[in-house]
Chain A
Amino acid sequence: MRVETHLSGNLPRSEVLFRLLRRHSRGKTSWEEVRAGAERETIGWIYFIENNLTLVTDPMLLWHDHFRPFTENVVGMEVNGLSRWYDNNTFYKVPVIKSKLGLSEPFLDRYLFPTLLRGRKVKLILPDPLTMYRLSLNNGYSDESELVIDLSEVISTEAHRMVLKWALDVRLVQLTAPEMARRLSEDELVLVREIVGSFRKKFGCALQLHTCFFPAGRTLRSLLDSGADIVGIDLHATPVSALKGVDVDRELALGVVDARSVVVEEPNACASLAEKAVDATGARAVHLTANTDLEYLPVEVAKEKLRVLSECARLLRERWT
């Protein structure tokens, strides 16, 4: 059984970077200084990730929330007030759809550090268009399906032009999709298939739909039927018993490490949890991840959790060979 390890979301900023960002928001330091600070931390994180996980992801330290690079730059979209990010003490700024969406100048590489990703096997993490649609305020489209497809188009096109520009070796694209575990109608499943097809075609690599915060049992079958190569499950929201009987004829990403708890898991316990999930579903391969963004944790705890993932993978590889 193949065992991979990667991030399923962003990583925490240091207190130094938070201070820099606050100073910038008050006009007391330049954006160049902020980028330089974020770059230093990104270098450290990438080194750490490379030593512990199988795919490298930019820690997304300049993303204020899951949507912000897009909310701030996509034509036809504006930033509104704060709203709670699911059941967390974390808030995002609501995207407001004002008119037909479109792209102008490339922007995503201002929020990431693609030069640091070159020459590495990369996992790219992007917002799921359906989730973004549900968490936006739509004042611009009468046809909501058209809006979801246009969101999919702007997200995938912008990310893809960055990948081409910097010649990145992207092996996996993740769409972070808490809403897909929450509920999914038949009509929306059609949209999800279209989104998945579009991203897979554009990037030519594996696609992961990553769910979190909600038990995945209800919609897992539908997500497996969507054409996604990997479906991510939050095992700190989903009891393994809820997975029993779902025939997983593909790969699962298992959020075995809880990014919202400071209790550092035992690698053995994580390995047992992953084994149970595989026994319940018959998954073909396993991707070990945190259940969601690690930004909910202090930096040192996040690092501990990633080390646990690495050790858990080692244990599973031993057991499964």
Chain B
Amino acid sequence: MGPDGLLFRTQEVGSLSRAPFLKGGNTEERATQARYWGKVLDVENYDELVRLIRNGIDQAKLLRWASLYGIRFHEAAGLDVVWDGEQRRVEMYEHSVRNVENFVFTGRVKVWDAETYNKAKLVSAPRLRSSAYIEEFLFAKSKARRELKVPVTGPYTIMDWSFDEFFVKRYSHLEDPGERRRRSRLDFLYSLIENVMKPELRALVEAGATRIQVDEPALTTKPDEVRDYVEAFNEMVKGLNATWTLHVCYSDYSLLLPHLTEMRIHELSIECANRDTVELGVEERSRRGYSILKTFSEQGVAFKVAPGVIDVHTDFIEPPELVRDRLLYSARLMGDPTKVIACNDCGLRTRRWEVAFEKERSLVKGAELARRALT
């Protein structure tokens, strides 16, 4: 049975923190990390990496090893659908924008607390310089033992997270700042879709990608733009044969409705655990983070939902029983357990590997408990 036929299929959202042997420390410490995780994750020929670290290894080779460790990380945890933990990516936005002409980085700005990103400004029409995804996909495809899902940064998020010095000038004659903003952003979005996203996605599908996740954490930022985005997304994926997942997080998901129902996606991945309690139970009081699923169900959405059952912003290891209860409650709200996928809230980039691994193992064990509860 393929992953699609599995009840409470398990998958991740995309990122892991950098492999421990990529981080600081002296050569011997990094070699020790490579050996430790090589054993834990059953990485083939990990002794070769240990030797290379001791003798000197170039960054490109090291990143390929990190990518392999990322794939084995998810496989060893037992996930059904995997990725490489985005080991080659600096960060989801910067990785995508670096490969597009006419973006100029301006420096780091705050996202929350002490978390930042390197924000770029667009100074002329965007043009894809080289693919941000093909090389890593082909490598992952050659190594993965489970099915792959490729996460790509969506055009709305790239647009929203960038400064615009180009399209905004087209509308400087308009007196209403709201109208200036709306029109220039729509131009920006469609320009990214035509010049960047379509070539990227076409290349991925032609290279054999069957599952593609479009990451749009910014999607509800300006609710009046959701309808435009749904139209743009449908245009973007038209004619491309893949299973499409949309990932949105830390947002008011009700703002996606009703337009979301018209979106050509197969799966919606959202963060829920972050707003939930950690008490066991399958009633509304303890499962307050999942209430939006009821709204989705009432709207008759056709897609499956991957509600986050693992909070990626805390070191707390969710017990499998908590994962189970979150999945069972989600299934109840959706009115159909086959429409629920077991997933994290978001990428595990902010967690140490030790913590992230335990969280993923809990995800897998909790999904198994949920399956047993329904059979």
| Interface residues in chain A, defined as those with a beta carbon under 8 Å from any beta carbon in chain B | 12-13, 15, 18, 21-22, 24-25, 64-65, 80-84, 87-93, 215, 235-241, 261-263, 295-301
A242, closest chain B residue (CB): B176
| Interface contact A298-B168, CB-CB below 8 Å | no
A80, closest chain B residue (CB): B275
Interfacial chain A residues near B113, Cβ < 8 Å: 21, 25, 64-65, 93
Interfacial chain A residues near B168, Cβ < 8 Å: 261, 263
| Interface contact B160-A84, CB-CB below 8 Å | no
| Interface contact B250-A82, CB-CB below 8 Å | yes
Please report the C-alpha to C-alpha distance between residue A18 and residue B221 in the assembled complex, in whole angstroms: 24
Interfacial chain B residues near A262, Cβ < 8 Å: 106, 121, 163, 165
- Asked if B161 is at the interface (CB within 8 A of a chain A CB), the reply is yes
| Interface contact B176-A239, CB-CB below 8 Å | yes
Q: Shortest Cβ distance from A304 into chain B, in angstroms?
A: 12
A24, closest chain B residue (CB): B114
Please report the C-alpha to C-alpha distance between residue A12 and residue B109 in the assembled complex, in whole angstroms: 8
A–B pairs, 19, beta carbons within 8 Å: A18-B114, A24-B114, A25-B113, A81-B250, A82-B274, A82-B313, A89-B111, A89-B160, A89-B161, A89-B221, A238-B177, A239-B176, A261-B163, A261-B168, A262-B121, A296-B110, A298-B106, A298-B108, A301-B106
| Interface contact B178-A88, CB-CB below 8 Å | no
| Interface contact B112-A297, CB-CB below 8 Å | no
Please report the C-alpha to C-alpha distance between residue A89 and residue B108 in the assembled complex, in whole angstroms: 13
A269, closest chain B residue (CB): B172
B160, closest chain A residue (CB): A89
Interfacial chain A residues near B250, Cβ < 8 Å: 81-84, 91
- Asked if B175 is at the interface (CB within 8 A of a chain A CB), the reply is yes
Q: Which residue of the partner chain, among B107, B111, B119, B275, contacts A91 with CB atoms under 8 Å?
A: B111
| Interface contact A239-B110, CB-CB below 8 Å | no
Given contacts A25-B114, A91-B111, contact A84 B106 (CB under 8 A): no
Interfacial chain A residues near B330, Cβ < 8 Å: none
| Interface contact A81-B275, CB-CB below 8 Å | yes
Q: Shortest Cβ distance from A281 into chain B, in angstroms?
A: 16
**Which parts of B69-126 form the interface with A (CB within 8 Å)?**
106-116, 119, 121
Interfacial chain A residues near B121, Cβ < 8 Å: 262
Chain B window 118-143, contacts with chain A (Cβ cutoff 8 Å), 1 for yes, 0 for no: 01010000000000000000000000
Please report the C-alpha to C-alpha distance between residue A75 and residue B353 in the assembled complex, in whole angstroms: 36
B220, closest chain A residue (CB): A84
Please report the C-alpha to C-alpha distance between residue A25 and residue B252 in the assembled complex, in whole angstroms: 27
- Asked if B222 is at the interface (CB within 8 A of a chain A CB), the reply is yes
**Which parts of B214-253 form the interface with A (CB within 8 Å)?**
218, 220-222, 250-252
A85, closest chain B residue (CB): B112
Interfacial chain B residues near A13, Cβ < 8 Å: 110
Given contacts A262-B163, A297-B109, A298-B108, contact A87 B175 (CB under 8 A): no
Interfacial chain B residues near A15, Cβ < 8 Å: 107-108, 116
Given contacts A93-B113, A239-B178, A240-B175, 5 further A-B pairs with CB under 8 A are A12-B109, A81-B250, A81-B274, A261-B168, A296-B109
Please report the C-alpha to C-alpha distance between residue A90 and residue B116 in the assembled complex, in whole angstroms: 9
| Interface contact A215-B222, CB-CB below 8 Å | no
B174, closest chain A residue (CB): A239
Interfacial chain B residues near A83, Cβ < 8 Å: 250
Please report the C-alpha to C-alpha distance between residue A92 and residue B111 in the assembled complex, in whole angstroms: 9
Please report the C-alpha to C-alpha distance between residue A21 and residue B110 in the assembled complex, in whole angstroms: 12
B104, closest chain A residue (CB): A262
Q: Which residue of the partner chain, among B109, B111, B165, B175, contacts A298 with CB atoms under 8 Å?
A: B109
A276, closest chain B residue (CB): B175
Chain B window 265-309, contacts with chain A (Cβ cutoff 8 Å), 1 for yes, 0 for no: 000000000110000000000000000000000000000000000
B274, closest chain A residue (CB): A81
Q: Which residue of the partner chain, among B110, B161, B178, contacts A237 with CB atoms under 8 Å?
A: B178
Interfacial chain B residues near A93, Cβ < 8 Å: 112-113
Q: Shortest Cβ distance from B58 into chain A, in angstroms?
A: 27
Please report the C-alpha to C-alpha distance between residue A83 and residue B107 in the assembled complex, in whole angstroms: 24
Given contacts A82-B313, A238-B177, A261-B163, contact A92 B221 (CB under 8 A): no
Q: Shortest Cβ distance from B286 into chain A, in angstroms?
A: 14
| Interface contact A87-B114, CB-CB below 8 Å | no
| Interface contact B119-A92, CB-CB below 8 Å | no
Interfacial chain A residues near B163, Cβ < 8 Å: 261-263
